[in-house]
Amino acid sequence: MKNLFFDKSWTIFLDRDGVINEKLENDYVKNWDEFVFTKNAKIAIANLSEIFGRIFVVTNQRGVGRGIMSEDQLIFIHSKMNDEVSSEFGRIDKIYYCTDIMDSSEYRKPNVGMALSAKKEFPDIDFSKSVMIGDSETDMIFGKNLGMKCFMISKQSLMTDLFFFDKKFESLFECAIFLKSEIIH
């Protein structure tokens, strides 16, 4: 990957489960007690807040659509998450979530509806100057479908199929350190 230089004109899109918070395998984070930040995630978001003009979370939340949790519970989790991020001098400009059950929903990643909603609300977003950070192939396809740079978060040794992602990191914190090294001085 050639060198990139990030500045405030760039936008970052973050997946939630597995990136910002620990993913519960075969389950959903249904309440604040189950929400556990990944190691140094709040510091990572604070670092990203210094670099990027906008930071959005885009997250599939099928558990609401399945009736496993309510949308009010999800909103409460996101509110507490934002409070915690803010307490470490980070920011999240907006959280977009999809509660739809069907993969065909235009808003469910890898489909791009959440990003298009962000673009409608924040017209200055340039997807060619955007980064998607996620922990799944659907996150990477979501970003690639919009022409974003895509960074995979995974502790697993994955084949580095550059079609799906540009670079792999073990954590959001590690990714943020890399991105901070790429800012325009």
- Residues annotated as catalytic (active site), given as ranges: 15, 17
Sketch the domain layout of the chain as residue ranges: 11-181
35-62 pLDDT, tens digit each:
999 999 999 999 999 999 999 999 999 9
Using CA atoms, how far apart are residues 131 and 159, in angstroms rounded to an integer?
21
Class of domain 11-181: alpha beta
What is the predicted pLDDT for the residue at 162?
54
Using CA atoms, how far apart are residues 144 and 59, in angstroms rounded to an integer?
16
Mean pLDDT of 8-36: 96
Q: Which helix (H) or strand (E) holds 175?
A: helix 172-181
Model pTM score: 0.94
